Every structure is written in structure tokens, then in C-alpha cells.
């Protein structure tokens, strides 16, 4: 699979960013470095997990099957928007879905996570992988699910934006090499140093899988994308810069060329019309400037850095500069605390985020599955009131 050289391309005329349905939404404005009257808020892993209506529609249906049934994936994506009034939907999927669509044997084991049919650790293993492709036909369930979701999010001239979602190349490669979730990703980090050429082949392939996955979501109607790097925090800055950043850059380049056409139907080279990109990882406080630079190097024109709960947002702004919008970073642990403690924490997060060019309130990781949904609704109402 080769990463194509792309020239600037117009989004379809009926795309929500192109026809005006989401371009002035609080989320898109904040991702573009603006300060809308209402601070936008959404939650990672809001689609599913804690919602009783999610558990009801998922009965008897496996996780990956749920992701690949367009009508079901769309319904799950829409549920938290209806319930909580969040400012964005996030596409219901899993980071290993592109692997599944490319023919890799992977299942999500309850209580464990993604488990491969076997570890892929040698040059021969990687050559077997890179021979697999991910074409438009394989992506058809994703395109249909996004189209159904965007239709459900539309309300006349306005629409709640959909955030496209994809796993970063390092995280996908780590799952492939380890064969299952790992605490320290020792096998992946060993391959990175023991056989850098094979590692580069592997991560270039996973980058193109994720890139095509993201591009399909954008072309079908997503108004922003988030690249999620679950395991990058296990790396040193030097290893991230040398062995991971290039593949994340490659993944995001698959959507960097897509632009909102101007009044005359031409992008005109206007750098202010690209699809916003969010780059997020866990335990990545030491990597935040490098993660910002990935967005820059990829050519993403509207660049937001997601910050997990370990790094206060004012410290993130000091590292990144006041011109970089931030996303985050409510500690998920506080969702189970008394309301008085959670309210104080949310107010502190919003205050610390005020120095950034834009701020999208979110969690510093995902919604815990035992979260009371009414608490999330109260957080949305609180953020909107500030």
C-alpha cells in the first residue's frame, strides 16, 4: 500500500463544512482557534459504554460487528447527542477496525481488548501484512455509517458536527507486534530498535490504513478528525520523534488536502479552509510539542492538541504557545466523585484552558463504563453555562 501524493481537493458541495451546516458550530469554531459564545464540550467514548440505550442495542452483537453494521453504528453515535446535548458526535468505531477491514484476524475480547490471531514480529510477518490493501469497497460500511450519522445530526441549516476517529499508526503497530494489549509494549519497542527498516515498513502500512479510514469518514461528512495514540506515552521523546512521528504525519496527510471550497467553488490556496485535526494521546505530557509538530508537518491547517488529565491546560499552553487550540482535560476519575468536587474541577479546567486560542472541553481520557449518564449531562450544562 502506498501513500498517494495529493493535491488540494475540494470537499463535496453537500459536505456539512462546505454547505455551512457545521462551519459556524461552536466545535468547529473552537478547533479553528476561535472563542464562540458557548464553550463546546464532548466526551471521548461517549458513544456507548455508560448508556443503557447503548447496552440495549448491543445485546447479542459483538463489538466489531457493531462497528461494521452501518445502521447500528450510526444509532450508537447519535445516542449521546440526544441524551447529553454535546457539541459533537464522535464516530462509533474502534481503532482496530481498519485492520479487520484489511483482512487481519482480530477480535475484541471482553475484559481484555483487541487480540490478534497471532503476533506479527518478523520481517516476513510484516511483508505478509503490507501485501494487504484497504480499498473503497472494504470501507463501504464506514462510508454508509457516517452518511447515516450526518443525516441524523442535521437540523435544517445547522448540524451537530461529527468527529472522525482513527488509531495512530504506533498504537496499531503495537497491537500487531504484541498480539494483544500490553503494559509496556516491550516487543514493539524492541522491534523498533532491533529492525528499524521492518518497523518503518509496518508503521507506514498502519499509517495508510488509518489515513484511508479517516479520509473515508471526512468525505462521507465528518467535520473534524481525531488521531488517537493510546500507547505513545510509553515512548521517550527521542524514540517518538525518530520512530513514530513520521508515520502519524503520514496518516494525517490523507486528510490534509481536503478543503472547503470558496464562493467561486475553488479553494484558492486558502489555508483557512482545511478540515480541523485533533491529535491526542495518553500520558503524553512530555510529547505535546512533538504531537503539535506532527499536525504541522502533515499540513493540517487547523491544529488542536488533546491533553490528558495529567497535564494542566495552562501548562500545556506554556509548552505549545497561545495560538494552539486545546482539547481536554477533565479527569475521568472525578465523574464518580461528589458533584461539588466535580464542579470545582470542571470550572478549574475551563479556567486553565482560557489562555489557549480555542478550547474544546473533553475528558483527559474516555468515559468509564460505570459512569452515571446524568453526571455527563450535568457537566455539559455546566460548561455551557460558564
Q: Is 121 a catalytic residue?
A: no
Q: Are 146 and 222 in contact (CB under 8 A)?
A: yes
Closest CA to 211 of 178, 251, 240: 251
Q: Which of 58, 201, 310, 378 is catalytic?
A: 58
Helix-, strand-, coil-residue percentages of the chain, each rounded to 5: 50, 10, 40
Which residue segment(s) compose the domain that 267 sits in? 9-385
Looking at per-residue pLDDT, the higher value among 81 and 267 belongs to 81
Looking at per-residue pLDDT, the higher value among 197 and 267 belongs to 197
Q: Which of 54, 87, 148, 175 is catalytic?
A: 175
Assess whether pLDDT exceeds 70 at residue 71.
Answer: yes
Q: Which of 32, 45, 212, 215 is catalytic?
A: 45
Inside any domain, residue 303: yes
Inside any domain, residue 113: yes
Inside any domain, residue 221: yes
Which one-letter DSSP state was computed for residue 335?
G
Assess whether pLDDT exceeds 60 at residue 351.
Answer: yes
CB atoms within 10 A of CB 208: 25
Inside any domain, residue 3: no
Inside any domain, residue 4: no
Pinpoint the alpha helices (H) of the chain. 26-31, 52-57, 63-68, 70-84, 97-101, 123-130, 140-153, 169-178, 186-194, 196-220, 237-243, 245-256, 288-298, 313-320, 339-352, 373-385
pLDDT for the residue 5: 55
Q: Is 259 a catalytic residue?
A: no
CA distance linking residue 320 with residue 245, whole number of Å:
17
Q: Which of 94, 208, 293, 331 is catalytic?
A: 94
Average pLDDT, the chain: 94
pLDDT for the residue 267: 45
Inside any domain, residue 88: yes
**Percent of the residues in the chain that have a pLDDT greater than 90, as a whole number:** 88
CA distance linking residue 27 with residue 161, whole number of Å:
7
Assess whether pLDDT exceeds 90 at residue 379.
Answer: yes
- Per the structure, the count of domains in the chain is 1
pLDDT for the residue 1: 53
Inside any domain, residue 29: yes
Average pLDDT over residues 260-283: 74
Assess whether pLDDT exceeds 80 at residue 158.
Answer: no
Domain CATH number, residue 177: 3.20.20.210
Residues 6 or more apart whose Cβ sits within 8 Å of residue 238:
none
CA 259 to chain centre: 19
Q: Which residues does residue 305 pair with via DSSP β-bridges, in sequence order? A: 279, 326
CB atoms within 10 A of CB 382: 17
Q: Is 49 a catalytic residue?
A: yes
Inside any domain, residue 373: yes
Q: Is 120 a catalytic residue?
A: no
Average pLDDT over residues 145-169: 93
**Percent of the residues in the chain that have a pLDDT greater than 70, as a whole number:** 96
Q: Which of 6, 35, 38, 49 is catalytic?
A: 49
Amino acid at each position: 500500500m502506498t501513500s498517494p501524493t495529493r493535491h488540494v481537493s475540494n470537499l463535496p458541495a453537500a459536505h456539512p463544512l462546505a454547505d455551512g451546516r457545521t462551519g459556524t458550530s461552536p466545535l468547529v469554531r473552537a478547533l479553528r482557534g476561535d472563542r464562540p459564545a458557548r464553550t463546546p464540550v464532548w466526551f471521548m467514548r461517549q458513544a456507548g459504554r455508560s448508556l443503557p440505550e447503548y447496552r440495549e442495542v448491543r445485546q447479542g452483537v459483538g463489538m466489531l460487528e457493531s462497528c461494521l453494521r452501518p445502521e447500528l453504528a450510526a444509532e450508537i453515535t447519535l445516542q449521546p447527542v440526544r441524551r447529553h446535548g454535546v457539541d459533537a458526535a464522535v464516530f462509533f468505531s474502534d481503532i482496530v477496525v481498519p485492520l479487520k477491514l484489511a483482512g487481519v484476524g482480530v477480535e475484541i475480547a471482553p475484559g481484555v481488548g483487541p487480540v490478534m490471531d497471532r503476533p506479527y514480529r518478523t520481517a516476513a510477518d510484516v511483508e505478509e501484512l503490507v501485501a494487504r490493501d484497504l480499498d473503497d469497497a472494504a470501507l463501504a460500511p464506514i462510508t454508509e455509517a457516517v452518511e447515516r450519522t450526518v443525516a441524523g445530526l442535521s437540523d435544517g441549516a445547522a448540524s451537530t458536527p461529527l468527529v472522525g476517529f482513527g488509531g495512530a499508526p504506533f498504537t496499531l503497530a503495537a497491537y500487531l507486534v504484541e498480539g494483544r494489549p500490553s503494559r509496556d509494549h516491550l516487543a514493539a519497542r524492541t522491534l523498533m530498535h532491533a529492525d528499524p527498516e521492518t518497523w518503518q515498513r509496518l508503521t507506514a502500512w498502519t499509517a495508510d490504513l488509518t489515513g484511508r479510514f479517516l479520509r473515508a469518514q471526512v468525505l462521507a461528512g465528518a467535520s473534524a478528525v481525531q488521531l488517537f495514540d493510546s500507547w505513545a506515552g510509553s515512548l521517550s521523546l527521542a524514540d517518538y520523534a525518530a520512530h513514530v512521528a513520521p508515520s502519524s504525519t503520514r496518516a494525517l496527510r490523507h486528510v490534509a488536502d481536503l478543503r472547503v471550497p470558496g464562493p467561486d467553488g475553488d479553494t484558492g490556496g486558502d489555508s483557512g479552509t482545511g478540515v480541523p485535526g485533533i491529535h491526542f494521546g495518553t500520558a503524553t505530557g512530555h510529547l505535546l510539542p512533538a504531537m503539535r509538530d506532527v499536525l504541522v508537518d502533515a499540513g493540517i491547517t487547523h491544529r488542536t492538541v488533546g491533553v490528558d488529565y495529567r497535564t494542566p491546560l495552562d501548562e500545556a499552553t506554556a509548552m505549545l504557545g497561545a495560538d494552539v487550540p486545546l482539547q481536554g482535560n477533565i479527569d475521568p476519575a472525578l465523574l464518580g466523585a461528589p458533584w461539588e468536587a466535580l464542579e470545582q474541577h470542571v470550572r478549574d479546567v475551563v479556567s486553565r484552558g482560557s489562555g489557549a486560542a480555542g478550547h474544546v472541553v473533553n475528558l483527559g481520557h474516555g468515559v468509564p463504563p460505570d459512569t452515571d449518564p446524568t453526571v455527563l449531562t450535568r457537566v455539559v450544562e455546566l460548561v455551557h453555562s460558564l
